[in-house]
Amino acid sequence: MVNTQIRHYDAIIIGAGFSGLYQLHLLRDRLKLNCIVLEKGEGVGGTWYWNRYPGARCDTESHAYTYFFSDEIFNEWEWSERYPGHAEIRKYLNFVSEKFDLKKDISFKSEVIKTSYKQNDNKWFLETSDDLFYSSKFLISAVGCISTANIPKIRGLDKFKGSYFHTGNWPKNDVNFEGKIVGQIGTGSTGIQAVPVIAETAKHFTVFQRTPNYSVPARNKPLSKDFKKYVKENFNDLRKTVKKTPNGHAFLISETLVHEVDEKERLKRYENAWEKGGLQFRGTFKDIISDKRANDTASEFIKKKIKEIVKNKEYAQILTNFDHPYAGKRPPIDTNYFETFNRENVHLVDIRNDPIKFIDEYGIATEKNYYNLDLIVFATGYDAMTGSLIKLNITGENNLKLEDYWKEGPKTYLGLQIPGFPNLFTITGPGSPSVLTNMPTAIEQHVEWVTDCIKYMIDNNYEKICTTDKKSQEWGKEVNEAANKTLLPTVKHSWYLGANIPGKPQVFMPYAGGLPVYKKICDHVKNNNYDGFVLT
Ligand code: NA7
């Protein structure tokens, strides 16, 4: 029998990843609100709860991929590698949860399936997959930006007799590739991490690549004692750096323009950055992301490196046949990705020139060939930024469905609120810097802003906050203008634009003006009694 009893809270938070955990801590422990987190997974982690695919690792360096709000956490926790692996990130979030005793207020295995705002009560009502009902005045979505897996609709997939997995929904019990004939579709950041690891044990491994991807070596390694000591001793400086850099990382972006130096100097700087490895490669010069001519120099450099690594000339050609600027898509970093194509058991298929036609019981058919497979890995990305919000099945004022309201693309003010959806806050929502930054830095800024806003409402006896259509239109313009100063909107199939999902409206979603500029705007709004929001 369904238990229709409604559990009432001051605030409900959806999702127990970096955002949800910190939001719970601030609302419950600082504002003393009665809160609950509803989480689909069986444990904390959010995106990292599901991302367990081979090679899954964060591409932000561990000393920056961390909460900075608590000296105590920072001092007590020690990362083991330059880039944290998925299991270690879960361990970290469990550590944080225990530190603040968060789990007692998280309901696991509770997927939110329906979310409605009732005007008369000024309350949100939620229904979960475990047939429970909840209500609250404030609702905070902390569902992550890249958490709704996209498996492309390929004819015949349902007939496939082998197994198939999406990297973002990887089974908890590791998948065994030993002796298997494996195919992988997708060579984004995720695919590039998975390929070298799967190739180690698969009997035969075919990588189906649609768009070649630039990748720079991660140069991952265990952290030395000295580096760990340096991190602890420089907590304040690191915190200052992540807060002042446009991408929220712990490295600075060069102030030099590409053409301010001669070719010899330019190559030297690229070479150093390549040797150092990591995302900071794109910070070698100031204008790599904004000027096509500057970008071409980075692109040519990486192309040359790939051609030096990959022995098979045909593969090298397929892997470097770029039609987009470097870092125009999220730039991957890798551990032996290109080297893997020198292995005898690895085969590369260019599906831009030989597209996939269908899948049948035994494998994948392209226009020109057929590939027998035991197992298919879909590293095909996500319905990013909006997918997980729409999946919550949200209805706002006047029975307005979020899905309908966003038919032509997401409309928000600051990525924090949606007109017509009062008292709902979207952590790292579309229109905020989010995926263009180191996520925990962007998350901390949002969570703190939301907490201050709720506190302001409580202190001033406001019951309801909502932004307006006018404000969201103005902000949409700013998001576009910021994007148009970069090369990012020029890229085909980019998930920043929603262009990776057939039929999804193509609107550039994250705010590309940089985290410090964005924070200044948010602070200005806050310091002007939440200008741009209607408080009643
Ligand atoms: P991405 O970056 O969206 O990459 C998805 C990959 O899958 C990419 O190579 C796509 O090719 C390919 N893809 C997607 N749909 C298809 C279809 N229909 N046919 C063939 N190939 C396809 O997702 P990731 O998981 O790698 O990374 C997402 C973020 O997660 C990442 O930036 C990190 O922040 C973590 P395409 O390039 O579209 O031609």
* 350 Cα: distance to centroid of ligand 1 (angstroms): 15
Domain assignment present for residue 390? The answer is yes
Cα(222)–Cα(81) distance, rounded to whole angstroms? Answer: 4
Compute, in angstroms, the gap from residue 159 CA to the centroid of ligand 1: 23
Coil, strand or helix at 492: coil
What are the tens digits of pLDDT across the range 336-381?
Answer: 999 999 999 999 999 999 999 999 999 999 999 999 999 999 999 9
- Asked if residue 429 and residue 359 are part of one domain, the reply reads no
pTM of the model: 0.97
Minimum-distance ligand 1 atom for the alpha carbon of 185 = 21
Looking at the domain assignment, is residue 236 inside a domain? Answer: no
Ramachandran angles phi, psi of 45, nearest 5°: 140, -30
Task: Assess whether 44 and 170 both reside in one domain.
Answer: no
Beta pairing partners, 365: 358, 370
Helix (H) or strand (E) holding 86: helix 86-99
> In this model, does residue 465 exceed pLDDT 70?
yes
CA of 214 to the centre of ligand 1 (A): 13
Give the pLDDT of residue 493.
84
Same domain as 523, residue 496: yes
**Residue owning the nearest CA to atom 36 of ligand 1:** 211
pLDDT of residue 362: 98
Amino acid at 314: E
pLDDT band at 173 (very low <50, low <70, confident <90, very high): confident
Q: What is the pLDDT at residue 492? A: 82
Q: Are the beta carbons of 436 and 429 closer than 8 angstroms?
A: no
* Residue range 456-483: mean pLDDT, rounded: 98
- Whether the pLDDT of residue 2 is over 80: the answer is no
146 neighbors 167 (Cβ within 8 angstroms):
no
272 and 365 inside one domain: yes
Which residue's alpha carbon is nearest to atom 3 within ligand 1? 381
One-letter amino acid for residue 297 of the chain? T
Mutate to test the pocket of ligand 1, among 51, 190, 388 (most ligand atoms within 8 A of CB): 190
Domain C-terminal end among 342, 362, 378: 378
Cβ atoms < 10 Å from Cβ of 73: 16
Residue 295 sits in the same domain as residue 352: yes
Please give the distance, rounded to the nearest whole angstrom, from the Cα atom of residue 252 to the centre of ligand 1: 28
> Would you place residue 494 in the very low, low, confident or very high pLDDT band (cuts 50, 70, 90)?
very high
Q: Is residue 229 one of the residues assigned to a domain?
A: no
pLDDT at 189: 97
Ligand 1 centroid distance, CA of 56 (Å): 15
Q: Does an H or E element contain 346, and which?
A: strand 346-350
136 located within any domain: yes
Burial 309-341 (b: 16+ CB within 10 A, else e): bbeeeebbebbbebebbbbbbbbbbbbbbbebb
Q: Is the pLDDT of residue 467 over 80?
A: yes
Of 363, 378, 393, the domain-final residue: 378
Examine the pLDDT at 1 and tell me if it is beyond 60.
Answer: no
Ligand 1 centre and the CA of 231: distance in Å?
33
Does 139 lie in the same domain as 179? Answer: no
User: Which pLDDT score is estimated for 314?
Assistant: 98
- 290 shares a domain with 262: yes
Side by side, the strands of the sheet bearing 204-209 are 163-166, 375-378, 181-185, 204-209, 346-350
In a domain, 103, yes or no: yes
Domain that residue 260 falls in = 157-224+243-378
Nearest alpha carbon, ligand 1 atom 10:
186
Give me the sign of the Cα torsion angle 50, 54, 60, 62.
Answer: positive
Q: What is the pLDDT averaged over residues 245-264?
A: 97
Instruction: State the distance from the centre of ligand 1 to the C-alpha of 183, rounded, in angstroms.
Output: 15
Q: How many domains does the chain have?
A: 2
In-domain check, residue 232? no
Mean pLDDT for the chain overall: 97
Q: Whose Cα sits closest to atom 28 in ligand 1?
A: 381
Shared-domain flag, residues 318 and 196: yes
Query: Over the stretch 267-310, which tens digit does the pLDDT of each residue have?
Result: 999 999 999 999 999 999 999 999 999 999 999 999 999 999 99
Q: Can you give the CATH number for the domain in which 217 is found?
A: 3.50.50.60
**325 and 419 co-located in one domain:** no
- Look at residue 233 and tell me if it is in a domain: no
Q: How far is CA 61 from CA 80, 82, 249, 416, 438, in A?
A: 11, 6, 8, 27, 9
Distance in Å, CA 61 to ligand 1 centroid:
22
Confidence band for 3, pLDDT divided at 50, 70 and 90: low
Atom of ligand 1 nearest to the CA of 500: 38
* Per-residue pLDDT tens digits for 66-105: 999 999 999 999 999 999 999 999 999 999 999 999 999 9
Please give the distance, rounded to the nearest whole angstrom, from the Cα atom of residue 37 to the centre of ligand 1: 30
The residue to mutate among 150, 210, 215, 435, having the most atoms of ligand 1 within 8 angstroms of its beta carbon, is 210
What pairs with residue 141 in β-bridges? Answer: 14, 426
Of ligand 1's atoms, which has the minimum distance to the CA of residue 154?
18
> 263 and 120 in one domain?
no
Residues 264 and 172 reside in one and the same domain: yes
- pLDDT category at 228 given cuts 50, 70, 90 is very high
For ligand 1, atom 31, which residue shows the shortest CA distance? Answer: 189
Question: In this structure, is the dihedral angle defined by the CA atoms of residues 503, 505, 506 and 509, taken in order, positive or negative?
Answer: negative
Ligand 1: which residues within 6 Å by Cβ? 146, 152, 185-191, 210-211, 330, 351, 379-382, 493, 495, 500
- Residue among 51, 145, 155, 189 whose CB has most ligand 1 atoms within 8 A, to mutate: 189
Residue of 496, 500, 504, 506 to mutate, ligand 1, most atoms within 8 A of C-beta = 500
Distance of CA 498 from the midpoint of ligand 1 (Å): 11
What are the start-end ranges of the H helices in 287-336? 292-309, 313-319
Q: Does 452 share its domain with 307?
A: no
CB 208 within 8 A of CB 185: yes
Residue 235 lies in a domain: no
Q: How far apart are CA 245 and CA 515, in angstroms?
A: 7
Final residue before a domain boundary, out of 320, 353, 378: 378
pLDDT in tens, 412-431: 999 999 999 999 999 999 99
